[in-house]
Amino acid sequence: MTFNFNAPYSSARLPLFARNVVSTSHPLAAQAGLRMMLKGGNAVDAAIAAAATLTITEPVSNGLGSDAFCILWDGQQLHGLNASGNAPQSWTPDYFKRKYGADVATPPKRGFDSVTVPGAVSSWVALSERFGKLPFADLMEPAIDIAERGYLLPVVVQQKWTAAMPELQSMPGFAEGFLPWGRAPDVGELFQFKAAARGLRAIAESKGQAFYGGEIAQAIERFSVQHGGTLTAKDFADYRPEWVTPIAQNYRGYTLHEIPPNGQGIAALIALGILEHFDVAGLPVDGVDSQHLQIEAMKLAFADVYRYVADPSAMEVTPAQMLDPAYLASRAQLIQMNKAQDFGAGNPVKGGTIYLTAADENGMMVSFIQSNYMGFGSGCVEPEFGVSLQNRGHGFNVQSGGLNPANLVAPGKRPFHTIIPAFLTQDGQPVMSYGVMGANMQPQGHMQTLVRMLDYGQNPQAACDAPRWRYNAGYSINVEADMNAQTVQGLAQLGHHMDVINDSYQDFGAGQFIWRMGDPKVQGYVAASDSRRDGQAVGF
């Protein structure tokens, strides 16, 4: 029997209730995390095991050469970790102009000149050393086993794998790593990644040292030189992840926390700070006015984010200035309920990602995101250790001036980054760890799902299942095909340029949510996993 794996009907998942929970975008990764909890590990151990497994089971979205961010509640307070990569020491504007022409605007989209130093592995090590309970090597066991023995390809991952093949099949190491038999694997077909198993073993045995200055870094340097790159083992050895204090915005009696720049999480905070000036709950949840208001708030947020956010050492303004209540109130006044607008940046100066979350019965909650940026990242796959390298360097500017001068490429600098974990508290206590994957959809998903929960009382799975829109630029809005047709028409009449999209994976992200119901030993958590991916929430 040959099955048709296209979904003929829309389906709604039910939320999961448990005292110990892992929610990820692939069932095997969720189960890997749960295995760690059953061994006596905590939510951090579970998150690391799940993240390592996802580099194998969802390679379109992440790999051993990814970046990562994390927000976690340790039982007493919040911590933030920025494990986004730095530019190689060779990268200057002149380097790219000499190589690609005087008018080049950004580093290339693919290839070694799009690769910054990957930070994901460093995040696993840092989290394990500071908060984990189990030996680090134990956390790599599920991923090593799956990479060595293989797994059967699920529907959504297979579709995106196949779609990426024409662009990437000639990139260094890509066909060897990801095109067995000269093609993408079919749905249900066994995929093995023995090179990545070797890489994971080396990482496990050395607690990450092999990756940062050791044998893996040296192999990547040789591979880089062979294919015209300048990434060196010293670039890896010099890299360190950074513990940071999350930034926050109050909304409806709760507080949303995000990682500070160089990431775009501040966009969700700005949008919510603007929406705080409107009675959103007084508008029909799926009606024109509610959706229009959220779209316009998100436009205003992105106008400032794209103008100002970069490596914090280079920014012209601070996050505090961008989130100043008086400034956000002035931005809210620009919204008109009877028409769409194309907003410019204000002046706040006075004068292809995976997301997972885990929580345990002792109260630890982890919000973790890991990404190679665009599908399969740079397309470069180091063949000895199976390191699929991200393309975050494409996020830099090469020309001085322009929309965001602070994002100019420089040695050791971090580019503007899209991946963002989120965390919700109330009165200083944890409420929810959550995130929504998908480039600039991420802050939009953070805002849309949170509004549904806090303004309209929708449970996390319902808020996750609800149809979404995605702002692009100007007046352009993508909207999922199952959004109410009258709402879509009404938004178009206000001047929004509505484009109905059938591919929810491509345009609307996917989320994972864990909401704390009370004392986790007694009341536990309610968890949700997005039906737009192959994922699952599991628990006990």
Q: Where do we find the tokens 């436009």? A: 299
Are 214 and 206 in contact by the 8 Å Cβ rule? The answer is yes
Please name the amino acid found at residue 288: V
Tokens 């449970």 belong to which residue?
Answer: 459
**Looking only at Cα atoms, what is the longest distance across the chain?**
71
Please check whether residue 236 is in contact with residue 212, taking contact to mean a CB–CB distance below 8 angstroms. Answer: yes
Nearest to 155 by CA among 300, 26, 333: 26
In sequence order, the 6+-apart residues with CB closer than 8 A to the CB of 267 are 298, 301, 302, 305, 443, 444
Residue 468 · residue 448 · CB < 8 Å: yes
Is 425 part of the annotated catalytic residue set? no
CA distance 533 to 7: 12
Evaluate the CA torsion angle 267, 305, 437, 520 in order and state its sign: negative
Local structure of 151: helix, strand or coil: strand
- Tokens representing 445 are 């998903």
In DSSP terms, which residues pair with 432 in a beta bridge? 424, 515
One of 55, 116, 353, 418 is an active-site residue; which one? 353
Angle at CA of residue 336, ends 334 and 341, nearest 5°: 75
Say what the alpha-carbon torsion angle 266, 269, 273, 274 is, to the nearest 10 degrees: 70
SS3 state of residue 32: helix
- Residue position matching structure tokens 């760690």: 36
Q: Helix 136-149 and helix 194-206: axis angle, to 10°?
A: 170
Query: Do residues 477 and 302 lie in contact, with contact meaning Cβ atoms separated by under 8 Å?
Result: no
- In the block, residue with structure tokens 């995605």: 470
Instruction: Please give the structure tokens belonging to residue 231.
Output: 């990434």
- Per DSSP bridges, beta strands 476-480 and 497-501 are parallel
Query: CB neighbours of 274 closer than 8 A, spacing ≥ 6?
Result: 297, 300, 301, 328, 331, 332, 335
Alpha-carbon distance of 222 to 219, in angstroms, equals 5
In what helix (H) or strand (E) does residue 190 lie, and over which residues does it extend? Answer: strand 190-191
Helices (H), 187-239: 194-206, 215-226, 233-237
Place of tokens 């100002």: 308
* Chain Cα centroid distance, residue 351: 35
Residues 289, 372: Cα–Cα separation, whole Å: 36
Rg for the chain, CA atoms, rounded:
22
Question: Catalytic amino acids?
Answer: 353
